[in-house]
A and B are shown apart, each in its own frame.
Chain A
Amino acid sequence: MGRFVLRRTTQAVVVLFGVSLIVFALVQLVPGDPVRVSLGTRFDPETYAALRERSGLDRPLLQQYLSYVGGALTGDLGVSFRTGQPVTTTLTDRLPATLSLAGCSLLVALLVAVPLGIVSALRSGSLSDHVATVVSQVGVSIPDFWMAILLILLFSGVFGVLPPSGYEPLLEDPVGWASHMVLPAVTVGVVSGAILTRFIRAAVLEQLGQDHVRTARARGIKESLVLRRHVLRNALIPVITVTGVQLASLLGGVIVVEVIFAWPGLGRLTLDAVNARDYPVLQGAVMLFAALFLLVNLLVDLLYAAVDPRIRYAK
């Protein structure tokens, strides 16, 4: 296991290094002078000179890159062109909103997918199975931002029970937090849940056909016990992986959804940075998203290997 952890972690670090190269290259590809472009109409020579100096864009490329990576490793991602605030503080301010949304969305996804997937596998071919298939096909094809609009239309427009957008910090107003959380979390969660449903169904179906399940049944073990001990427990292994991968891709899903619901997370920060041409913040946000994405994938792989020893030797 130790060797597997080492190998997989090294891989992730190498990829992260590649990510840093791309993130760094982004700003180099901006046509013209990024600082000047970013200042736009707010241009004045003093601010320009200060930002230019601070961003280090005069120095040779290699030196710029090394100082960017060196800074990133010590938690210094430069300062925002727009506010002058350190990028790291800006990012950490926004992180909790995004993480809480991703977490709640995953919860919604599991609440949808686990019962639906299990039922449709146990009653394969039945009406409920067909319903689950249609639901998952629809979930995969529906644009999340459209679903958000439909939910707002229904729950804040027609029924008037939930706020259409906004955010309340959990600690200051738990009820407000929850009521603002429902619509965005359902939006992101249902799409992921649709995908998960299919995997859970396939995993349970596969286990149902296994010899050990047949043997257990032949021994006269109660069906509910067979399901719990033999089917669901084994079906859990692939589901863990997909759930983890889903969590990672949820991070991508929250970007657009945050914009719709005026959710003060990393996704909205990214878009604001794009619109304001605030390149250091954009770089930092992209870097953080990619790092989170890699981290989740790494943890999933390690967890998977811990649960299923075959993985460690297969690769």
Chain B
Amino acid sequence: MTVGGVPDSGPEQPGADAGPETEPGTPPAQASQRRQVLRALLSHKLAVFGLVVLALLLVVGVFGNTLAPYGPNELDVPNRLTGPSAQHPFGTDELGRDVLSRVMVAARLSLLVGAVAVGIALTLGVTLGLVAGFYGRWVDDAVMRVMDVLFAFPAILLAIAIVAVLGPNVVNAMIAIGIVYTPIFARVTRASVLTVREEVYVRAARSIGVGDLRLLRLHILPNVAAPIIVQTSLSLAFAILSETALSFLGLGVQPPDPSWGRMLFEGRGFVQQAWWMGVFPGAAIFLTVLAFNVVGDALRDALDPRQRSAIEARAGVSS
């Protein structure tokens, strides 16, 4: 997928084939770069759609409790299993709870679990990737072999196993998903560090006695940020999918908190009598994941065209 609106004269991505024309030591004009990325995103129709969906989600996530027409656990047994209507646009479930209200309230937890899990993966993975790529040799070998082992499990299986051991609840689901997505951040970061490590500005800084920590923080991290930002958006999509899968299996969000995954599980039991119970929560998951995926893809086109798309990332092909 290519973006029509990416300006050809955009600043050279440091690390991405930074040729001799890149002036060593010149920090990229960050404000103008940010503007260009934003412009590229806005010229991409799918990305705009994704951003609008995400903005709506954020509003629902923050104000869902207030905006929802009913309480998420408000029972109305006489009106159980009624189809979509003016009073209940998404219908009611087997206890007469309003499906729309539950979908809205559930948004918060799904987004929160996704964000915290990716935060854990980002922190752990980027740190490990920086250290592995920067120090190389046995440090690199040791870190990356551990990542290889974590990669040897199907993602959802590893998450299930970790939650099974720690106990099924939201916090443990966040930890499990965070661990599962750590290796991908480590790999992406390490690969970028390897290309930046030998750049002239890094060597120059080192030659005047800049310490490792400062070197990593000021010279390397900012220059490997682009692929990490892209990976973050794509990982949010996968993390939310994983959370809903765990909740579907009863290993994530626990009742009485509503969750999209669990609502789908309950909907499965009433699939013949009440299609709305299974359709709407799933549509919410689908739209959320789709939005993060298209925004991630557009970000990649704008920031770092060489990186893998959401689809390639999902295929698990190692770069």
> Is there a chain A Cβ closer than 8 Å to B55's Cβ?
no
User: Can you list 24 residue pairs at the A/B interface with Cβ under 8 Å?
Assistant: A15-B145, A22-B149, A22-B150, A26-B164, A31-B166, A133-B1, A140-B314, A141-B286, A142-B286, A143-B241, A145-B248, A145-B282, A146-B264, A149-B278, A149-B279, A153-B279, A195-B315, A199-B315, A241-B317, A245-B315, A252-B154, A253-B154, A256-B248, A271-B249
Interface residues of A in 6-56 (CB under 8 A from B): 14-16, 18-19, 21-22, 26-27, 29-31
Question: Which of A65-73, A228-236, A285-293 contacts the other chain?
Answer: A285-293
A282 to B286, CA, bound (A): 30
> Is there a chain A Cβ closer than 8 Å to B12's Cβ?
no
**Chain B's interface: helix, strand, loop or mixed, by majority?**
helix
Question: Which of B76-84, B215-223, B267-275 contacts the other chain?
Answer: B267-275
- Most chain B CB within a 10 A radius of its CB, from A149, A153, A245, A275: A149
Chain A residue numbers with a CB within 8 Å of B315 are: 195-196, 199, 242, 245-246, 249
Contact check, A293 vs B282: say whether CB atoms are below 8 A apart.
no
Chain A residue numbers with a CB within 8 Å of B146 are: 18
Least CB distance, A238 to chain B, in whole angstroms? 9
> Is there a chain B Cβ closer than 8 Å to A226's Cβ?
no
CB-contact partner of B311 in A142, A146, A198, A256, under 8 A = A198
> Is there a chain A Cβ closer than 8 Å to B115's Cβ?
no
Task: List 3 tightest A-B contacts by C-beta distance, closest first.
Answer: A252-B154, A146-B282, A18-B149
- Closest residue of A by beta carbon distance from B234: A140
**Chain A's interface: helix, strand, loop or mixed, by majority?**
helix
How many of A's residues come within 8 Å of B, CB to CB?
59
Least CB distance, B254 to chain A, in whole angstroms? 14
Contact check, A140 vs B311: say whether CB atoms are below 8 A apart.
yes
Contact check, B267 vs A289: say whether CB atoms are below 8 A apart.
no
> Is there a chain B Cβ closer than 8 Å to A169's Cβ?
no
- Most chain B CB within a 10 A radius of its CB, from A30, A194, A195: A195
Known: A27-B165, A140-B310, A242-B317. A249 touches B154 (CB 8 A): yes
